Chain A
């Protein structure tokens, strides 16, 4: 009986030791793998050059005319391991009011990021995904968007319109950079 008891406690020890060893191996392996996996969190894996993009001649914009969609092409982009030149990073809706002032709105819907289109019939911006609607001045008219369209910095230099592309956090009422 005594021998069986000793054997019992020996086996319990072996069981515990086996599980402890297995756990140790698992932890030593899991820690680097988790850190590896979380590498992109909080890191600018994709980064584009942020200088203003030359999009068109100012004279081509009609004062009071319908908005024009232009592609915003970054001169440089680092996308993880690749470095690219002249990459379209987004688009903007440009318009010129009667006073000749040029404004630009990001075509990224402030709701969930679909591309906003322009509806000539109603003279308003429409998001095709969830039916948010915005006036020509970018102010929200209808739909689930929590804020108006995001204005982009725009300037006119020697007859050329230059737009700076910015990204904002979607689906919040405050406009905060993303």
Chain B
């Protein structure tokens, strides 16, 4: 092994590089206070790795983006885990970057001659937020779509170049394919390139100036306590990285990854929220209206960035001790408190907002439905919300809403109530006992039918007879036979009704096959057919509007209602 090492070193010179990289002495000794930069490098590598694997399953197109992410989330082995790590990893980066900034500020590490490194750090913080902003849109789900619209809208309100800026960023006049390809290009090529470049500069500048040691130790004490980076500091760095990684994995497992909302639907109204680190700005905008809102939206980030960048040029005193620099640190602390406070208020407001909570629950339900359908049927080529069209009875429900619900649902009905439990035994029983009730024909001009007088087992038999006409498999044949006898006998039903499915022009509709798929399909077409209501009919005919297949689907959907619980 040493021979191999020698051979390699002669040609590559790696030992000198390793020596330069690892054997740097740290004045005052290693410390966990210095680990945050290394944690950030680790998190960056984690983001790059998980990002590469996500990119291998992602399609940056308005029709395919959501579907491909849903595929990663719900079908690819551990896709939810990889995606969750990437999303939670981004949050971890923002948190650790904040802590790193705080540590740097407390130790006075931004001060002369390290101003440039501080500036590079602030720029990198800006890049992190740009990563978060661009990444949030990529799944093309409701939250990402609507939240990012707000962000590009803010860009669009910039003075003079607003419109051009917005169109350049979002790739045209509206959100679409170019928006996604641009955001994707920025997120996976431009921003990583820029960030890695700045990280290199940041680390090189750090090595040039060295770390900023504990302010409470004197020069000779610092020298005496000196320890090498490897392994003393590296060990602490590794412990910190492993701890952060462990927390990330646990959080990821506990949360089951990150939520994927329903596919972006420009026709919906969605109450979107940005990622938590943009909440302070989101909350601040609630307090301002008109042109003040624009000034705050555009001005606040500029002011915060400006304050941070100015810090090393304002703080020029002789001492690194935080006590001597309390004004600068207090200003920073105040900024942190304001941002944190706004964030907390924003979450608390949402928590106590019942309407918002209801909207969240509904959107989660909608997301579940979309993802279940995508898993079972795949997403049609038109993409996104068309996944709902693959649902069973999608067309039937649409027809119902358009042409049926107006008369058969709610308070302003003009026909018998139809809903969950329709044509169940309970529904039939209620009907027979009181056909002219407001729930049934009471709202129509058809009200000659008298309530069925039978009680107990006789009523059960008549109910079973009518129920059996729907084709229900669980009808009791013996009871049906008894019902037939009553139908022709004591029940006096046959005075007005036939039940053979053929006889026409009687006082009441022919009950043969009533509520079965075949008869419903035909009935919806021609309720005025002499077999059914004839001249007494009040319901519109639909043979012109809907074809047999559509009516059949509607009929089957009506049958599917039978299993539901009867409405009262």
| A→B interface (CB under 8 Å) | 11, 14-15, 17-18, 21-22, 24-25, 28-29, 32-33, 35-39, 78-84
A78-B81 in contact given A25-B242, A29-B46, A36-B53 (Cβ < 8 Å): no
A84-B381 in contact given A21-B242, A29-B46 (Cβ < 8 Å): yes
Identify which of residues 14-56 in chain B touch chain A, using a CB-to-CB cut-off of 8 Å: 46, 49-50, 53, 56
Give the interface SS of chain A, mostly helix, strand, loop or mixed.
helix
Nearest 7 A-B pairs (CB), nearest first? A83-B378, A81-B67, A81-B71, A14-B231, A14-B235, A15-B231, A39-B77
CA–CA, A121 and B249, complex, Å: 67
Q: Are B232 and A14 closer than 8 Å at their CB atoms?
A: yes
A81-B77 in contact given A18-B231, A25-B242 (Cβ < 8 Å): no
Asked whether any CB of chain A lies closer than 8 Å to the CB of B154, the reply is no
Q: Are B81 and A25 closer than 8 Å at their CB atoms?
A: no
A36 → B minimal CB distance (Å): 5
Q: Which residues of chain A are within 8 angstroms of B53 by Cβ–Cβ distance? A: 33, 36-37
Per-residue CB contact flags for chain B residues 379-396 toward chain A (1 = under 8 Å, else 0) read 111000000001000000
Q: Which residues of chain A are within 8 angstroms of B68 by Cβ–Cβ distance? A: 80-81
Counted as pairs of residues, one from A and one from B, with CB atoms less than 8 Å apart, the total is 81
Kindly list 6 other residue pairs between chains A and B, CB separation below 8 angstroms, not including A18-B231, A36-B76. Answer: A22-B241, A32-B82, A36-B79, A38-B77, A82-B64, A83-B378
CA–CA, A78 and B238, complex, Å: 45
Q: List 30 A-B contacts (CB under 8 A).
A: A14-B232, A15-B231, A17-B238, A18-B234, A21-B238, A21-B239, A21-B242, A22-B242, A25-B245, A28-B245, A28-B249, A32-B82, A33-B49, A35-B77, A37-B53, A38-B77, A39-B77, A39-B79, A80-B68, A81-B64, A81-B67, A81-B70, A81-B71, A81-B75, A82-B64, A82-B67, A83-B377, A83-B378, A83-B380, A84-B380
CA–CA, A17 and B236, complex, Å: 10
Q: Which residues of chain A are within 8 angstroms of B75 by Cβ–Cβ distance? A: 81
Q: Which residues of chain A are within 8 angstroms of B231 by Cβ–Cβ distance? A: 11, 14-15, 18
Q: Are A37 and B70 closer than 8 Å at their CB atoms?
A: no
| B→A interface (CB under 8 Å) | 46, 49-50, 53, 56, 59, 64, 67-68, 70-71, 75-79, 81-82, 230-232, 234-235, 238-239, 241-242, 245, 249, 374, 377-381, 390
B141 → A minimal CB distance (Å): 14
Q: Are A36 and B71 closer than 8 Å at their CB atoms?
A: no
Q: Are A22 and B379 closer than 8 Å at their CB atoms?
A: no
CA–CA, A24 and B238, complex, Å: 11
Q: Are B78 and A35 closer than 8 Å at their CB atoms?
A: yes
Q: Are B242 and A81 closer than 8 Å at their CB atoms?
A: no
Q: Which residues of chain B are within 8 angstroms of A36 by Cβ–Cβ distance? A: 53, 76-79, 81-82
* Residue among A17, A22, A83 with the highest chain B CB neighbour number at 10 A: A83
A172 → B minimal CB distance (Å): 30
CA–CA, A38 and B79, complex, Å: 11
A24-B381 in contact given A14-B231, A18-B231, A39-B76 (Cβ < 8 Å): no
Q: Which residues of chain A are within 8 angstroms of B245 by Cβ–Cβ distance? A: 25, 28-29
Q: Which residues of chain A are within 8 angstroms of B56 by Cβ–Cβ distance? A: 37
B363 → A minimal CB distance (Å): 21
Q: Which residues of chain B are within 8 angstroms of A81 by Cβ–Cβ distance? A: 59, 64, 67-68, 70-71, 75, 374, 378-379
A32 → B minimal CB distance (Å): 4
A135 → B minimal CB distance (Å): 40
A80-B71 in contact given A25-B245, A33-B82, A36-B82 (Cβ < 8 Å): yes
Q: Which residues of chain B are within 8 angstroms of A83 by Cβ–Cβ distance? A: 377-381, 390
Q: Which residues of chain A are within 8 angstroms of B249 by Cβ–Cβ distance? A: 28
Q: Which residues of chain A are within 8 angstroms of B239 by Cβ–Cβ distance? A: 21
A13 → B minimal CB distance (Å): 9
Q: Are B235 and A18 closer than 8 Å at their CB atoms?
A: yes
A11-B232 in contact given A39-B77, A83-B379, A83-B390 (Cβ < 8 Å): yes
Q: Are A18 and B238 closer than 8 Å at their CB atoms?
A: yes
